[in-house]
Structure 1
């Protein structure tokens, strides 16, 4: 009880209340605009949060992170264009409802499912916090190094079909982090006698370049399109009642979101597809999925909104971000000398609980805002892409320059902006670079600290948690190698069956290959769902 009161005392400030309001409303607006997304917004806001108290800055960023998925459902349902990448699966059943004249029902159901997923995950984590407080101190330098290594491996292996390029980009991020003064003896590395490289390449400069500037370039080179949206009539409260008719789907989907969110490098996409697959297989009407199924919409929206709170677990408990957005938040901690990790749970448990309570309040504020302001909110979908591009470009350069009043940082950000633009045009991942920079720095420091007491290789994993993490790493690598081998085998079978499709056995192999390709294609299409242009298939 004392912990709860102490946490509420941290939140009972006018600036925290304002941060809750700005984060919740701003995140919904950002999510509702196709082509921007939370990563761009958080990257632009990062320099401003450095002058705020940690709880205020993190509340704003958490608000944008969590509420953007609510807003992203609006264009996904109304114009078949996901507002954020994780709302791609929402289009499968949300837009067919709109074409049937059930847009109000679809939005109401999406809001309700998102609210349930967000509240469910926060409550789970509040109940789980005491356990984390006991487990976190068991992590020493070696355990954190292995956890960071596992995070990089999971991020790389999660990019199915792009594993090698994801690994190369993660290594690039690790290399970029080594530029400048090394953290122990402060000797120069890879500076080439250039004074501006002595302090290293700032993470925020890279983030703004890869996410904000690259997206601005993408928006500017596109064309503006006119979007017609029909005004919604009636209230949006019926989704709360309809959600109650599918408690099993909602609970299981939220559970998938919590579990997947706590695993670094996995995130919303895996949680969504596991939830959607479960809902379809357990449904009495599986044929409706992809054609306007309420269960499919619940599964997609519940699972993705359960992830943000869960993603804070590895960040707060171990100081290890699971994806790009939590990596950006990590920089806010460091600027204010608040170090996430075991000591945070031991010494500042009230601060951790305050963040969870802030997420709880944010979900309530977002739902109330959406239930009463959706008709006004849908107008932001009509904002021209090029105007958005100019705004993002201007704000990005202002943010970069304000970090250190350095024109050199603006040049470096532009270079990374071009790199990010090229990667997006080639449909290649950007996230591994950021996580490589963040996790690479953690791995280097913890490895050096851990090696001080290591005499043999086995000494590095002679403790229970270190051994478990090591075995998990081996298991992940083994499963990935097996999957690559099966994919290779399937390709060989497909080539043979194409040659011999006239035979019965060859035709069977060809049907099997087409079925598997269709299932995997759903994941690929969702991952590559564009945020930079509006769909030509408009209502």
Structure 2
């Protein structure tokens, strides 16, 4: 009880409450704008959060992270265009329900399932917090190194069909963090005699370039949206939200998948949605209606994706390992304020951890109340011209980059990464491996240096239980991916042989 009261005392301040309100409402607005997304908003907000206390800055970023999926469901259901990438599965059943004249019911179910998933995840993690606080100190330098390596491996392997590209981009990110003065011997690495490279490539500069500036350039080139807007209305909205009770089993299972996948670096929303949607379809009495407006599919996907953000904070806070690009950006806020996530934070500052989760509970309540009154207005926000959005994003991004160190070099570097990010998006290549490579690469280098001082042989590196388990997980993930590729290639070869035999016959 003392721990809970201490956590409440941390957030019972006007600036924290203001950050919750701004972050939650801002996240909904950003999520409802197709083509923008939470990553762009967080990238733009990062420089401003450096001037705030850690709890205030992180609360604002968590607000955007946790509420953007609520807003992303609006265009996904109404106009078949997901506001954020993780709302893509929502279009499968949400938009057909709108076409049947059930837009209000679809939105109400999406909001209630998202709310349930978020609250369920937060409660689970608050109950498990004492256990996690005991486990976290068991992670030494070698365990954190292997956990970070496992995170990169899972992120790369999660990009099915683009594993090689994702691996190359992750290695490029690891290379970027080596540029500048090396921290132990203070030797210059890859500076090529250029003074402006001695301080290295700042993470925030790369984030703003790859996510925000690149998205601005993409919006400049895209055509403006012209959506036919259905009528939603407020009458009976909360009553329809109560219909979630009918689908409580799917909401509970989907939220559980979200919690499980969120705690594993590199897995996240897409895997949890796929598992939840597949489970719902397999156990449904009407599986043939999935993809044609079945509310079961809508509940399964929305409950799964909104339960991931709270769970994704576990590896970030307990080990300092982000699972995807959004939590990697939040990690920068910790570093700026010299608050280092890891076993000591989870063991010694549990009131701070619980305060963050209490903020997530408050923002979920605020978002649902806001959406009840503002859904009709948010539908009009979707019609903002792309070029206007692009100009606003570009302006705020360049101001944010310059404000970091008052350096024009950073502006040019961010612009270069903006062009690079736009090329990646146009080629449909992932951008998150670059950011995770920068963040986890630095962490892996530091922990490897520390661990090698006590390691005599390669086997000594995995002679402790947790280190051995993490090593086995890495090997298993690689072998499983290799077996999957071999099986797929063997199936393609058999299909080719069958087609050749039929053509000869």
User: CA–CA distance in 1 between the matches of 2:171 and 2:478?
Assistant: 17
Is 1:59 the counterpart of 2:59? The answer is: yes
Tell me which residue corresponds to 1:167: 167
Tell me which residue corresponds to 2:134: 134
Report Cα offsets for 1:498-522 as digits up to 9, x if no partner: 3234699xxxxxxxxxxxxxxxxxx
Question: Is the CA contact (8 Å cut-off) linking 2:103 and 2:230 kept in structure 1?
Answer: no
5 Å-filtered alignment, 1:30-41, equals 30-41=30-41
Is 1:454 the counterpart of 2:461? The answer is: no
Tell me which residue corresponds to 1:527: none
Question: Is the CA contact (8 Å cut-off) linking 1:271 and 1:303 kept in structure 2?
Answer: yes
Is 1:500 the counterpart of 2:501? The answer is: yes
Q: CA deviation at 1:340?
A: 0.2
Question: Is the CA contact (8 Å cut-off) linking 1:109 and 1:238 kept in structure 2?
Answer: no
Question: Is the CA contact (8 Å cut-off) linking 1:260 and 1:266 kept in structure 2?
Answer: yes
Tell me which residue corresponds to 2:212: 212
Q: SS at 2:307's partner residue? A: helix
User: CA–CA distance in 2 between the matches of 1:5 and 1:501?
Assistant: 74
Tell me which residue corresponds to 1:88: 88
Question: Is the CA contact (8 Å cut-off) linking 2:312 and 2:327 kept in structure 1?
Answer: yes
Tell me which residue corresponds to 1:13: 13
With over 3 angstroms needed to count, the CA separation of the structure-2 counterparts of 1:278 and 1:503, relative to structure 1, is farther
User: CA–CA distance in 2 between the matches of 1:338 and 1:350?
Assistant: 14
Tell me which residue corresponds to 1:176: 176
User: CA–CA distance in 2 between the matches of 1:133 and 1:503?
Assistant: 66
5 Å-filtered alignment, 1:477-488, equals 477-488=478-489
Q: SS at 1:117's partner residue? A: helix
With over 3 angstroms needed to count, the CA separation of the structure-2 counterparts of 1:66 and 1:501, relative to structure 1, is farther
Report Cα offsets for 1:307-351 as digits up to 9, x if no partner: 000000000000000000000000000000100000001221110
User: CA–CA distance in 2 between the matches of 1:431 and 1:198?
Assistant: 25
Structural RMSD (CA): 1.1
Q: SS at 1:106's partner residue? A: helix
5 Å-filtered alignment, 1:107-506, equals 107-233=107-233, 234-501=235-502
Gaps of 5+ in 1: 505-539
User: CA–CA distance in 1 between the matches of 2:502 and 2:53?
Assistant: 66
User: CA–CA distance in 1 between the matches of 2:242 and 2:349?
Assistant: 39
Question: Is the CA contact (8 Å cut-off) linking 2:213 and 2:393 kept in structure 1?
Answer: yes
Q: CA deviation at 1:449?
A: 0.2
Question: Is the CA contact (8 Å cut-off) linking 1:105 and 1:238 kept in structure 2?
Answer: no
Q: SS at 1:192's partner residue? A: coil
Question: Is the CA contact (8 Å cut-off) linking 1:111 and 1:239 kept in structure 2?
Answer: no
Report Cα offsets for 1:251-306 as digits up to 9, x if no partner: 10000000000000000000000000000000011111000011000001000000
Q: CA deviation at 1:158?
A: 0.4
Question: Is the CA contact (8 Å cut-off) linking 2:103 and 2:231 kept in structure 1?
Answer: no
Tell me which residue corresponds to 1:534: none
User: CA–CA distance in 2 between the matches of 1:237 and 1:501?
Assistant: 59
Q: CA deviation at 1:495?
A: 2.2
User: CA–CA distance in 2 between the matches of 1:220 and 1:369?
Assistant: 30
User: CA–CA distance in 2 between the matches of 1:468 and 1:410?
Assistant: 43
TM-score, structure 1 length as denominator? Answer: 0.92
User: CA–CA distance in 2 between the matches of 1:235 and 1:176?
Assistant: 54
Question: Is the CA contact (8 Å cut-off) linking 1:112 and 1:239 kept in structure 2?
Answer: no
Question: Is the CA contact (8 Å cut-off) linking 1:81 and 1:91 kept in structure 2?
Answer: yes
User: CA–CA distance in 2 between the matches of 1:429 and 1:390?
Assistant: 24
User: CA–CA distance in 2 between the matches of 1:108 and 1:237?
Assistant: 7
Q: SS at 1:382's partner residue? A: coil
User: CA–CA distance in 2 between the matches of 1:317 and 1:239?
Assistant: 39
Q: CA deviation at 1:225?
A: 3.1
Q: SS at 1:244's partner residue? A: helix
Q: SS at 2:71's partner residue? A: helix
User: CA–CA distance in 2 between the matches of 1:195 and 1:494?
Assistant: 58
User: CA–CA distance in 2 between the matches of 1:254 and 1:379?
Assistant: 31
